[in-house]
Amino acid sequence: MHPVLFGVLVVATTFLMGSSFTVGKIGLTYVSPLLLVGLRFTLAGLIMSVLVRRKQLPVNFTEWAKVFVIGMFQTAGVMGCIFLSLRTITAGESSILTFSNPLIVVIMGTAFLGIRYRFMQWLGAIIGFIGVFVTLGFHLQLTSGTLLGLGAAVSWSIATILIKQWGSQFNVWVLTAYQMLFGGSILLIMGITIETPKLSINLMSVSIILWLAIMASIVQFAIWFYLINEGDPGKTSAFLFLAPFFGVLTGWMLLDEVVNWYVYAGGTLIFIGIFLVNWTFKKSKVNQDEALDKEQKKKEVL
């Protein structure tokens, strides 16, 4: 892929990821949190399920159950926590906390999958967690918003581990479509039953829902998966740190959010931690591939 095209697509997908926090916060003016995110992902899931109808679908109850569980964590858990957190913290703070998830994956990968990480990856995880502490204002008195932001990161990490375990059993687009549909349905039910639903139907609210469902969900996923498939996943994942940057930037531009200096400092540490975790993983993977290629060439010569 041409470097310019890669750069444009990386900026596009991470901008859509990060700006969705700000657009979502604007949407809370018109729609209650769980109902808004439920409408977003149910609509996105329905559209995608139509687009993937001719691909290989899960064949039995067990496979459908796995897709449902992934949707429960990846969509319902992550997005439910994010949109509830936006009631009490800024879009920038929520995005920074949410995108600390790769650091939690290091811990979970070691504990549950037996993955062995290098020293620099552990250092990245430690730096990242220090960054979360700094982002919270150097204290452990967590508000509901910060707890929910961290909850989104934990839920995303659990989903990542589950996808690592089960994802190869499914077509990636089918899994994406139906986990969004199942997760969105859970959120939609919760939005009607456990909170007081609010829905003001006007041009702005409809535009926000459509933007979140189509641009920030379907288009964003499509670009991201294209980049993952076309390039090295480890190298591509290292650019996720751009998403919370765009979350902070668009929150400042569109909502006039004032972000304290320690949020920027903590966010910088989180970005460094995520970079170390992903970049060293990429280097390790490349070195392994090069070693395998050399070994294969030796066999061919012999």
The domain locations on the chain are 3-301
The model's pLDDT over 50-87, given as tens digits with 9 standing for 90+, comes to 999 889 999 999 999 999 999 999 899 999 999 898 88
Residue 201: Cβ-neighbour burial (10 angstroms; 0-12, 13-18, 19+): exposed
Which strand (E) or helix (H) includes residue 119? helix 119-135
Alpha-carbon torsion (253, 270, 220, 69), positive or negative = negative
Is residue 240 scored above 80 in pLDDT?
no
Candidate from 25-34, 83-92, 188-197 with smallest mean pLDDT: 83-92
Q: How far is CA 158 from CA 35, 39, 118, 141, 297, in A?
A: 23, 23, 21, 25, 39
Distance CA(184)–CA(76), nearest Å, equals 6
Backbone angles phi, psi at 269, to 5 degrees: -65, -40
Candidate from 60-64, 101-105, 291-295 with smallest mean pLDDT: 291-295
Q: How far is CA 26 from CA 22, 36, 207, in A?
A: 6, 11, 11
Global pTM?
Answer: 0.78
Q: What is the pLDDT of residue 231?
A: 66
From the list 8, 170, 30, 20, the residue with the least C-alpha distance to 83 is 20
Is residue 104 scored above 70 in pLDDT?
yes
The model's pLDDT over 175-185, given as tens digits with 9 standing for 90+, comes to 989 999 999 99
Q: What is the pLDDT of residue 302?
A: 42
> CA end-to-end span of the chain, whole Å?
35
Confidence of residue 259 (pLDDT cuts 50, 70, 90): confident
* Percent of the chain clearing pLDDT 90 (strictly above): 33
Q: With contact defined as beta carbons under 8 Å apart, do 229 and 68 qualify?
A: no
Distance CA(66)–CA(169), nearest Å, equals 10
Residues 6+ apart with CB under 8 A from 170: 58, 63, 67
User: What pairs with residue 199 in β-bridges?
Assistant: 31
Token pair, residue 33, equals: 């949190």
Is residue 281 scored above 70 in pLDDT?
no
How large is the C-alpha radius of gyration of the chain? 20
Q: What is the pLDDT of residue 292?
A: 45
In this prediction, residues 104-116 reach a mean pLDDT of 75
Q: What is the pLDDT of residue 229?
A: 65
From the list 95, 167, 169, 194, the residue with the least C-alpha distance to 135 is 95
In this prediction, residues 25-32 reach a mean pLDDT of 93
